[in-house]
């Protein structure tokens, strides 16, 4: 089997962590005979600097002709600190999602027993937490009409959703619930927002006509945000719209003790993208201190979801867990006893070799 992978290192620590993921994937290739062809492309601030566009045509072409995409991170302080910047790195991410039809973001949240003390939450709250968030990616307020009044004193961002957009991601979330505990929670704001009422209407209809054996709960986003901190083990599969999902998944990241531990997948009908949920962390760029585990776990999701390499994905996840249990971690997890990005990547790659 030969697969073409678009490699979008992006900004900040993105290129560093993606290098470690490829290091681990190459072990998989040696052990299985599968061949991955890696095609590098620019995105974000790196692309603006070289091609004056955050998602240039050359990158579009490489992504479009690949079997999967590995993506590092996006963002640069020089744009964050300039409210009048006409082009922003994040524009490239939004355009890519729309261009490739990446409509569903999947973010698993789970705790590791060896990291339970790294979380700011109490042990009894986060013990055995294991849930997954399905976030809609191409609709909502991020993609709605935007405008500024002539005098510049009023601005607006429009939130809109169609039934089709809601149904296609809900279908994925319901199917995932089947594989797990048959529990699904829709997070919305149906007491205030018309779009949320449409979400609730669509999900209720699907639950009634197609998924009657799935137990569906409905939570307003403010209540859900509170419960993620006070009772995260109550959740199994969470389904929500774009902005709510953006917020609650970052909130949920504190459960694990580090943003550097959480992978994600962005799924489309023809291609999927795999990335860690952490940002570009520019303060750490080039210092060999960033945590590569979320990127490596994202590569594991790629093996599973894009290439049906379930056994290899399990081995990769086991190697990461073994690294944590052996205290082979970066400084975000342990300020006293830590290792470099490249050392952690090497250790996990060697552990994958041993596990085959």
Given 103, 142, 161, 281, the catalytic residue: 142
Question: Parallel, antiparallel, or unpaired: how do β-strands 237-240 and 215-220 relate?
Answer: unpaired
Residue 250 a catalytic site member: yes
Given 130, 250, 314, 322, the catalytic residue: 250
Full DSSP string of 82-101: -TT-SS-HHHHHHHHHHHHT
Residue 211 a catalytic site member: no
Q: Which two tokens stand for residue 6?
A: 């678009």
- Compute, in degrees rounded to 10, the torsion defined by CA atoms 314, 319, 324, 328: -160
Given 189, 236, 281, 332, the catalytic residue: 189
The Cα 88–Cα 139 span in angstroms is 19
* Residues 6 or more apart whose Cβ sits within 8 Å of residue 76: 11, 12, 44, 45, 89, 280, 282
Residue 189 a catalytic site member: yes
- Strand stretches in the chain, DSSP E: 2-10, 35-40, 68-73, 104-110, 130-136, 146-148, 155-157, 183-188, 215-220, 237-240, 263-267, 272-276
3-class state of residue 329 by DSSP: coil
Residue 222 a catalytic site member: yes
Residue 91 a catalytic site member: no
Given 82, 117, 145, 222, the catalytic residue: 222
Q: Which two tokens stand for residue 50?
A: 């070289």
Which residues are known catalytic residues?
Answer: 142, 189, 222, 246, 250
């Amino acid at each position: 089997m030969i697969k073409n992978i678009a490699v979008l290192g992006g900004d900040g620590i993105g290129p560093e962590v993606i290098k470690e993921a490829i290091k681990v994937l190459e072990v998989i290739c040696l052990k299985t005979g599968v061949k991955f062809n890696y095609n590098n492309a620019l995105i974000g601030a790196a692309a603006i600097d070289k091609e004056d566009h955050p998602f240039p045509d050359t990158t579009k072409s490489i992504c479009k002709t690949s079997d999967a995409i590995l993506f590092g991170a996006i963002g640069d302080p020089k744009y964050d600190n300039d409210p009048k910047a006409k082009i922003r790195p994040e524009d490239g991410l939004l355009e890519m999602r729309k261009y490739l039809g990446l409509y569903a973001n999947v973010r698993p949240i789970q705790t590791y027993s060896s990291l339970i003390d790294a979380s700011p939450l109490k042990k009894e709250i986060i013990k055995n937490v294991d849930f997954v968030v399905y976030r809609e990616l191409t609709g909502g307020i991020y993609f709605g009409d935007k405008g500024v009044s002539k005098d510049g004193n009023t601005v607006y961002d429009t939130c809109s959703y169609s039934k089709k957009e809601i149904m296609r991601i809900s279908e994925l979330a319901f199917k995932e619930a089947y594989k797990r505990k048959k529990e699904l929670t829709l997070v919305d704001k149906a007491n205030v927002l018309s779009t949320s009422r449409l979400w609730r209407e669509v999900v209720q209809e699907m639950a009634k006509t197609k998924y009657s054996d799935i137990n569906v709960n409905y939570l307003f986003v403010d209540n859900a945000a509170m419960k993620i901190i006070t009772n995260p083990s109550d959740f199994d599969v969470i389904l929500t719209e774009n902005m709510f999902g953006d917020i609650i998944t970052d909130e949920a990241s504190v459960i694990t003790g580090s943003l550097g531990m959480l992978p994600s997948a962005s799924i489309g009908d023809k291609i999927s993208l795999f990335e860690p949920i952490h940002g570009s962390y520019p303060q750490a760029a080039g210092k060999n201190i960033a945590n590569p585990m979320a990127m490596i776990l994202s590569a594991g999701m790629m093996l599973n979801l894009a290439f049906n390499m379930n056994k290899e994905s399990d081995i990769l996840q086991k190697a990461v867990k073994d690294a944590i249990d052996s205290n082979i971690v970066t400084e975000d997890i342990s300020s006293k006893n830590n290792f470099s990005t490249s050392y952690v990547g090497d250790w996990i790659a060697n552990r994958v070799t041993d596990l085959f």
